[in-house]
């Protein structure tokens, strides 16, 4: 009996060495560390008989050819990490489906469709102020204007890709045709505590949450903290504190909504002066777009009312919006059946984080399999998924591949 979880753990350990020096894993796109990782994966893919190519968006593609004229099921995730991140986020979603294919081959099982394992270059958006280039290229939603964006060293994406041996001029030609694709299935650590708290190893994602962000500026009047009377103060920070509390209230009282104030800038920001200006950001996430949009509208109304009451000038605007991406029922059902075939039970839950699957949804139906991570920790060196859980996921994926819907 092959211990597939142990095999996954070993390969992930090898990949974790493809990193900059320092704590955890730091592997940014189009770097020597990126090259080491895809070279290692390329060798493993070829070892099990996959045809391997590197496309001009930097996506490594391992393809198992099916019967002539058959459609293709896409799987995979991203290779890049945050700085000083963990050894599982993204890259585990490459390793597990790759080993699921290897498992089927050792059992002599042939699939009635083609399968590709995709290793996307950049999902985290750490090196450059954009992300999802590889998945957007396949989905046909790539925006060539991002190629002029620079990293902290002044290197553009164009130059980084060219130095990596890619031709950015050809990225827009990578778009797949929806009629050729069955769907995209991404495996990922949960990055949260829900599965662990429910004592479940695996979860089937119902939707990737939509996101919207709001920038709020409040302008009042400063004055000496010791001489300006309390009555009549136009304290921008007090107004901002009420907004922070309201964002928290919306999140606590609205089912399916996650609400966060993650940035606060106070001026003059000194100990003995009343704050005259505060800028803050509020973010809402939900698998239901209407829930998210209603929260944003309620916040705008609250800000305007509080500013009027406290005689503050306010400017509130939505700065970013991303729609929710529901997962396909048929693919999700097949994932759940694959888990059940292992004598286990899955949990259905939304993904609060964005993934490559959210971009691939513009091409084809999507599904996601979550694997339990210890204490819900992610983006840190302590990130961990057990070999047992990964082994269960590999078996579930192999069952899924045998039962996946294929027109």
CATH code of the domain in which 12 resides: 3.40.630.10
Asked whether residue 94 falls in the same domain as residue 142, the answer is: yes
H helices present in 226-321, as ranges = 236-253, 289-309
Q: What is the CATH number of the domain that holds 224?
A: 3.30.70.360
* Cα angle: 335, vertex 341, 345; to 5 degrees: 70
Indicate whether 226 and 266 sit together in one domain: yes
Domain co-membership, 243 together with 316: yes
DSSP assignment of 352-367 equals -S--HHHHHTTTS-EE
144 & 252 share domain: no
Judge if 170 and 308 occupy the same domain. Answer: no
Distance of CA 130 to CAs 147, 183, 204, 307, 378, Å?
9, 24, 28, 34, 21
d(CA 88, CA 76): 13
Domain termination site, one of 321, 350, 381: 321
Locus of tokens 């107004």: 239
241 shares a domain with 384: no
Structural domain of residue 156, as residue ranges?
4-208+324-403
Whole-angstrom distance, CA of residue 364 vs CA of residue 264: 39
Instruction: List, in order, residues 6 or more apart from 164 with CB less than 8 Å away.
Output: 30, 34, 35, 58
Please indicate, yes or no, whether residues 218 and 202 belong to a single structural domain of this protein: no
Q: Are residues 204 and 274 in the same domain?
A: no
CA atoms 58, 59, 60, 64: torsion sign = negative
Sign of the C-alpha dihedral computed for residues 250, 254, 255 and 256 taken in this order = negative
Residues 278, 338 within the same domain: no
For the chain, the first-to-last Cα distance in angstroms comes to: 34
When divided into structural domains, the chain yields a total of 2
Whether 139 and 216 map to the same domain: the answer is: no
The residue out of 321, 341, 363 marking a domain boundary is 321
Q: Are residues 185 and 308 in the same domain?
A: no
Quote the CA–CA distance of 214 and 236 in Å, as a whole number: 17
Tell whether 45 and 166 lie within a shared domain. yes
Q: What pLDDT is recorded for position 253?
A: 98
Q: Phi then psi for 43, rounded to 5 degrees?
A: -60, -40
Last residue of a domain, one of 267, 293, 321: 321
Q: What is the pLDDT along the chain (407 residues), one digit of tens a residue?
A: 899 999 999 999 999 999 999 999 999 999 999 999 999 999 999 999 999 999 999 999 999 999 999 999 999 999 999 999 999 999 999 999 999 999 999 999 999 999 999 999 999 999 998 999 999 999 999 999 999 999 999 999 999 999 999 999 999 999 999 999 999 999 999 999 999 999 999 999 999 999 999 999 999 999 999 999 999 999 999 999 999 999 999 999 999 999 999 999 999 999 999 999 999 999 999 999 999 999 999 999 999 999 999 999 999 999 999 999 999 999 999 999 999 999 998 899 999 999 999 999 999 999 999 999 999 999 999 999 999 999 999 999 999 999 865 54
Q: Quick one: which of 294, 328, 300, 302 has its CA closest to 316?
A: 300
Residue 377 burial class via C-beta count within 10 angstroms: exposed 0-12, middle 13-18, buried 19 and up: middle
pTM greater than the 0.95 cutoff = no
């Amino acid at each position: 009996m092959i211990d597939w979880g142990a095999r996954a753990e070993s390969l992930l350990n090898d990949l974790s060495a493809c990193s900059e020096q320092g704590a955890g894993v730091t592997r940014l796109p189009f770097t020597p560390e990126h090259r080491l990782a895809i070279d290692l994966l390329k060798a493993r893919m070829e070892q099990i008989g996959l045809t391997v190519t590197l496309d001009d968006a930097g996506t490594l593609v391992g393809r198992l050819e099916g019967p002539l004229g058959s459609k293709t099921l896409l799987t995979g995730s991203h290779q890049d990490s945050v700085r000083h991140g963990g050894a599982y986020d993204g890259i585990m979603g490459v390793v597990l489906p790759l080993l699921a294919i290897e498992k089927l081959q050792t059992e002599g099982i042939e699939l009635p469709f083609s399968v590709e394992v995709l290793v996307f270059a950049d999902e985290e958006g750490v090196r450059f102020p954009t992300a999802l280039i590889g998945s957007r290229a396949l989905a046909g939603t790539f925006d060539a204007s991002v190629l002029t964006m620079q990293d902290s060293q002044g290197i553009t994406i164009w130059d980084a890709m060219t130095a990596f041996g890619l031709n950015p001029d050809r990225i827009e030609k990578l778009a797949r045709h929806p009629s050729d694709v069955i769907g995209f299935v991404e495996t990922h650590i949960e990055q949260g505590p829900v599965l662990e708290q429910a004592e479940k190893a695996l979860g089937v994602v119902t939707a990737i949450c939509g996101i919207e962000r709001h920038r709020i500026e409040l302008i009042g009047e400063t004055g000496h903290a010791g001489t300006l009377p309390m009555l009549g103060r136009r304290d921008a920070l007090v107004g901002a504190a009420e907004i922070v509390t309201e964002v928290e209230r919306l999140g606590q009282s609205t089912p399916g909504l996650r609400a966060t104030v993650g940035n606060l800038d106070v001026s003059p920001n000194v100990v003995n002066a009343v704050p005259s200006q505060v800028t803050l950001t509020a973010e809402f996430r939900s698998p239901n777009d209407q829930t998210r949009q209603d929260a944003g509208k309620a916040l705008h109304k609250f800000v305007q009312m509080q500013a009027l009451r406290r005689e503050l000038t306010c400017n509130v605007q939505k700065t970013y919006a991303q729609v929710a991406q529901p997962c396909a029922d048929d693919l999700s059902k097949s994932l759940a059946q694959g888990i059940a075939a292992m004598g286990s039970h899955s949990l259905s839950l939304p993904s609060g984080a964005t993934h490559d699957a959210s971009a691939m949804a513009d091409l084809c139906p999507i599904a996601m399999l979550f694997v339990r991570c210890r204490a819900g920790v992610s983006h840190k060196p302590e990130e961990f998924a057990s070999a047992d859980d990964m082994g269960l996921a590999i078996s579930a994926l192999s069952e899924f591949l045998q039962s996946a819907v294929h027109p």
